[in-house]
């Protein structure tokens, strides 16, 4: 059971780091800074791979574990699972925020592009009008 506790502790440590990375990047996104978005997603993917590996270790260890372990160890495992659930919920909430920031930025860029296209059309129409006037003269 000590091995399960060690694995769960390691997983929660990685979840804490994952949360901290999200939190840092959310501050950047809120400020409109999306410069590191690619690195951010690559880092997240690496953490998710680590967490999946830890989950596999946990499953393997759980299959070998005996049910006659101490109450203290079972209580510690329950506490660690509760902490994992808390961190997972917090990360999920952050992900919703990340997606909202990215969606707002995408909408802003689309509006800017539309504005640029409309301005080009107006300039083009004005230029055509000027050319037509020049030809009449």
CB atoms within 10 A of CB 29: 22
Closest CA to 34 of 90, 94, 108: 108
pLDDT at 63: 66
- The per-residue pLDDT for 9 is 92
Cβ atoms 62, 22 nearer than 8 A: no
User: Which pLDDT value is given to residue 5?
Assistant: 86
- What is the per-residue pLDDT for 2? 80
Residue range of the domain that includes 57:
2-136
Q: How many domains does one find in the chain?
A: 1
Asked if 53 and 10 count as a contact pair (C-beta separation under 8 A), the reply is no
Given this model, what pLDDT does residue 28 score? 92
* pLDDT value of position 41: 92
Ranges of the chain with pLDDT below 70: 63, 65-69, 126, 129, 137
At 20-29, the pLDDT tens digits run 999 999 999 9
pLDDT given for residue 86 in this prediction: 93
Residue 95 Cα to chain centre, angstroms: 5
């Amino acid at each position: 059971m000590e091995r399960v506790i060690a694995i769960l502790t390691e997983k929660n440590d990685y979840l804490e780091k994952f949360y901290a990375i999200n939190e840092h990047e959310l501050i950047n996104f809120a400020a409109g800074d999306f410069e590191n978005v690619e690195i951010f997603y690559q880092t997240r993917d690496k953490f998710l791979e680590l967490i999946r590996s830890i989950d596999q270790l946990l499953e393997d260890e759980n299959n070998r574990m005996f049910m006659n372990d101490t109450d203290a160890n079972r209580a510690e495992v329950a506490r660690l699972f509760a902490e994992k659930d808390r961190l997972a919920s917090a990360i999920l909430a952050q992900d919703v925020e990340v997606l909202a920031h990215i969606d707002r930025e995408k909408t802003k860029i689309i509006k800017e592009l539309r504005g640029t296209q409309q301005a080009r059309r107006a300039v083009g129409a004005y230029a055509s009008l000027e050319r037509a006037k020049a030809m009449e003269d």
